[in-house]
Amino acid sequence: MQITLKDIARMADVAESTVSRALNDKPGVGRETKLKILKIAKENNYRPNQLARGLAAKKTNMLAVIMAEMDSPGNIEIVKSIEKAAEKQGYQIILCNTNNQEEKEKSYLSLLESNQVDGAIFIGGKLVGSHLLRASFSQENAIVLVNRLAEENFFTSVLTDYSQGIYRAVEHLGKQGFKKIALVCGDKDDLIEEEKISGYKKALSDAGLELNDDLIFSTAADRQAGYDVFLEIIEGDVIPDAFISTRELTTIGLVEAIKMGGYFIPDDFAVVGYGDNNLTSVIDPPLTVLSEPVEKLGQYSLEFLLKLIKEEMDSQQIKVLTPELIIRESSISKYN
Amino acid sequence: MQITLKDIARMADVAESTVSRALNDKPGVGRETKLKILKIAKENNYRPNQLARGLAAKKTNMLAVIMAEMDSPGNIEIVKSIEKAAEKQGYQIILCNTNNQEEKEKSYLSLLESNQVDGAIFIGGKLVGSHLLRASFSQENAIVLVNRLAEENFFTSVLTDYSQGIYRAVEHLGKQGFKKIALVCGDKDDLIEEEKISGYKKALSDAGLELNDDLIFSTAADRQAGYDVFLEIIEGDVIPDAFISTRELTTIGLVEAIKMGGYFIPDDFAVVGYGDNNLTSVIDPPLTVLSEPVEKLGQYSLEFLLKLIKEEMDSQQIKVLTPELIIRESSISKYN
DNA sequence: CAAAGTTTCGCAAGCGCTTGCGTAAATTCC
DNA sequence: GGAATTTACGCAAGCGCTTGCGAAACTTTG
C-alpha cells in the first residue's frame, strides 16, 4: 500500500491538515514542525495522491494538449513550445492524440470535464466546434484553439493566417513567372481550407493570373495523399507549372511523386511547401516553404489558457499570426 | 457547478450507489431503474468526475506513455501503435514528453505514483533506471520499457536488437565493397549504444575489415549534431567511405552535410540510416535504413503492460525484436 | 401457501486530500 | 503583567465516487 498523508501525520504526531499545509507551503505551520514533517515525508518517500488532491482542491496543475495529428512535425514544435512555457508556470502538460477521430476527441475532452486537467489546448482538427460548442461545459472550461476555426467566435484562438501566407506564396510564384499555380489543400468544407483558397484566389486575381478551379485539389493530410494527387493531376486536363502544398506530409508525398515521375523541381514544377521542418532542407532541391510561427503559436496559446484559468480574461480573444515565406530553390524559375 | 452523481440520484429518486452501478454496468440494478437512470444522466449531460472515480476505485483506465524524444518519427509510430492497441482494450493513453530531461521524467513518473494512471510505458531515454530502480514503487507499479536498457533486468522490456541490426548493416556495406565504415551513434556510456558498437565490431571482424576506433563517433540525437559530425569527420585523419547513422534525426543532418559539402551519396560516401520514416524515401538518393519494428514494439509493450496491471505476469519479461535492413540506393556501390 | 432463494436497492464507510473555523499557545503592546 | 494580537495547530466536513453489507421486495419451489 502507498503511504498516505495520514501516515505522515501519525509519524510526525500532528494533524493531517498540518501535514497538508506544510507540504503545500502554506502559512500556518511553525518552522520546527514544518521541517520535521518535510523530513519524515522525504524519508518515507511520500508521494501525494494527485487524484485526491485534485478532487479536494479542484485543480490539478495539469493541462491537456489535444492534437489532431501527431505526424506533423509542425504540431510537435508547437507542443514543445507550449511545454516550455508551461514548465515555467509550474504546469504539467499531457498530450493526447486524436488521429483526427472525433470519437477520441470527445473521450479526451472528458479529461477536462472531469477535472483531471485545468485546461486544454486543441491543435488542429477540422471537426470544428460542433459538439464542443453545443456542450455546456464550454463556458466554464478553459479551452484554447490553435489553428482551428470555429463557426462562431466562441473560443479563444491562436491562428496562423493561412490566407495571407498562401497569398504571398502565389505572389512569389507569380513573380517567378509561373502561370498555372495549383493549390493542394484539404477538404473544401473546412473553414481553414476556405481561408487558404480565399488567399489563393485573391492573390491570383491581384497578380493578373487566371483562376481555374480545376487547379484546386483537396486531399487528405498524409504523405500518400500527396503522392496520389500528383498522379491524378498529371492525368488531368490542366497541367500546372507550380504547386502550393499546404500540409507538411502531403508536401513530402507530392515531391516524392514528382521525382518518381521523372520530373524536375523547379524546372518542370515549382513547389512551395508548408512548414519548415527537418525535412524541407534535405529534400533535393531545398524546398521553399511557408513557415508556421510554431514557437509563437505555442507561447500565445499557453498564455491565453492560463489567463482563462485564472479568469483574468474572458473568452473570444483571437490572435492571428502570419507565416513567413522562406524562399529556397524549389520555387526559383530558371528563366528568371 | 458540474452536475454530480448525487444530482442524478436525486432526480431519479434512487440512491447514489444505484446510480453508480447503473452507470458502470454492474449487476444489482433492475432493468427499469437502470433505463431511467441512464436516460436522466444523458439528458443532463452527466460526466463522472474521473478523479473521484479513480480515487474510489483505485484505477483510472489510463496509461501514460513517457517518451524521451518526440521529434523522432519512429517514436511517434510506436506511440500510435500503442494507442491503437490500447483503444481496443478500453484504455486511454496520455503522452508525456521528457525531452531527455531526467527532471521531467521524474515529474511525469508521479502520474504513476499518485495513481493517475494505471501503468506507464517508457520509450527511449538514456537516463536509465538509476532513480527508477531505486525508487520503491518500482515493484508495485506497472512499467514497461521500450528501447531502453536498465542495468539490471528489473523491468519488463521490449527492445530492438540494435546489435543485430548494425551487424547486418556492416555486413551489407562490406559486401558492397566499402572498407572504412564509420559508426555514428550516441554516448558510449549508454548501454544501448554499447550494444550498437558491439554489433559493429563483431561485424567488422567477421567481415575481415579493420577496426578503427576513430571511426566511431558519438553525437547528440538531433539533426544539427549529424550535420556537425560530418564536418568534423572530413577534417579528421581517417576518412570513411561509408556511414552507419543510428538515429533518425542525426541521419538527416548527416546527409544534409554531405550534400552541402558537395559530396555524392553513395559515390563519395555510402549511408545507412536508421528508422524508415516519411523522410527516407524522399531524400535523394533514397536511403538504405535499418527499419525499426515500430508496430510490434508498440503491440508488445502494451500487451505486457496490461498483463502487469492485471497481475497475470511478473516483471522481468524481455522481448527482443530485430530491425530490418531496407536496402535502397544510398548504400549501393557503383563498383559493384 | 410457507419456506427458501433471488433480485433490487439503500445505507454508510471510505478513497486521500484540502480548507474554513475555532481554540490554545506564543507574542506583542502599553 | 494583563489585554490584545498574532501564530500554530487540530477538528471535521467535504470533494464525487465505489462497494460491502443488509433489508425489503419479489420469485421460485414442494
**Is-contact B308 B143, C-beta < 8 A?**
yes
Per-residue pLDDT, A336 = 58
Per-residue pLDDT, A152 = 66
**CATH code for the domain of A23:** 1.10.260.40
User: What secondary structure letter does DSSP report for B190?
Assistant: S
Look at residue A254 and tell me if it is in a domain.
yes
Whether the pLDDT of residue A133 is over 70: the answer is no
Per-residue pLDDT, A128 = 52
Chain B CB within 8 Å of residue A224 CB = no
- Rounded Cα gap, residues B41 and B34, in angstroms: 10
How many other β-carbons are positioned within 10 Å of the β-carbon of residue A83?
23
How many other β-carbons are positioned within 10 Å of the β-carbon of residue A103?
11
Per-residue pLDDT, B178 = 95
What confidence category does residue A267 fall into, taking pLDDT thresholds of 50, 70 and 90? very high
Look at residue B155 and tell me if it is in a domain.
yes
pLDDT tens per residue across span A144-176: 999 987 766 678 889 999 999 999 999 999 999
Look at residue B24 and tell me if it is in a domain.
yes
pLDDT tens per residue across span A56-74: 888 888 999 999 989 888 9
Look at residue A54 and tell me if it is in a domain.
no
Q: What percent of chain A has pLDDT over 90?
A: 56
> Do A27 and A95 sit in the same domain of this protein?
no
- Rounded Cα gap, residues B289 and B168, in angstroms: 11
Identify the domain containing residue B178 by its residue range.
Answer: 162-292+325-331
Pick the more confident residue, A4 or A140: A4
Structural domains of chain A, count: 3
Closest partner residue to A116 (CB to CB) among B51, B97, B223 is: B51
Q: Of chain B residues 78-117, which have a CB less than 8 A from chain A?
A: 79-80, 83, 87, 92-97, 99, 104, 107-108, 110-111, 113-116
> Do A167 and A259 sit in the same domain of this protein?
yes
What confidence category does residue A140 fall into, taking pLDDT thresholds of 50, 70 and 90? low
- Regions of chain B short of the pLDDT cut 70: 1, 127-140, 151-153, 281, 315, 335-336
> Do B43 and B156 sit in the same domain of this protein?
no
**CATH code for the domain of A219:** 3.40.50.2300
Tell me if B94 and A95 make a contact (CB, 8 A cut-off): yes
pLDDT tens per residue across span A289-315: 999 999 999 999 999 999 988 877 776
Instruction: Give the list of residues 6+ apart from residue B13 with CB closer than 8 angstroms, or none.
Output: none
> Do B298 and B153 sit in the same domain of this protein?
yes
- Helices B162-175 and B191-206 sit at what angle, rounded to 10 degrees? 30
Look at residue B336 and tell me if it is in a domain.
no
Whether the pLDDT of residue A131 is over 60: the answer is no
Per-residue pLDDT, B133 = 45
Instruction: Give the list of residues 6+ apart from residue A67 with CB closer than 8 angstroms, or none.
Output: A75, A79, A95, A96, A97, A98, A122, A123, A124, A125
Look at residue A53 and tell me if it is in a domain.
no
Per-residue pLDDT, B150 = 72
Look at residue B274 and tell me if it is in a domain.
yes
> Do B140 and B189 sit in the same domain of this protein?
no
Whether the pLDDT of residue A134 is over 60: the answer is no
Stated length of chain A: 336
- Rounded Cα gap, residues B265 and B224, in angstroms: 19
> Do B288 and B232 sit in the same domain of this protein?
yes
Per-residue pLDDT, A102 = 80
> Do B202 and B275 sit in the same domain of this protein?
yes
> Do A156 and A180 sit in the same domain of this protein?
no
> Do B167 and B264 sit in the same domain of this protein?
yes
Q: Please give the protein residue whose CA is closest to the C1' of the nucleotide D11.
A: A15
> Do A231 and A263 sit in the same domain of this protein?
yes
| Cα three-residue angle B114-B120-B124, rounded to 5 degrees | 130
- Rounded Cα gap, residues A45 and B109, in angstroms: 13
> Do B167 and B284 sit in the same domain of this protein?
yes
What confidence category does residue A55 fall into, taking pLDDT thresholds of 50, 70 and 90? confident
Whether the pLDDT of residue A136 is over 50: the answer is no
Pick the more confident residue, B285 or A268: A268
Per-residue pLDDT, B139 = 57
> Do A127 and A195 sit in the same domain of this protein?
no
Nucleotides of D under 7 A from a protein CB: 7-21
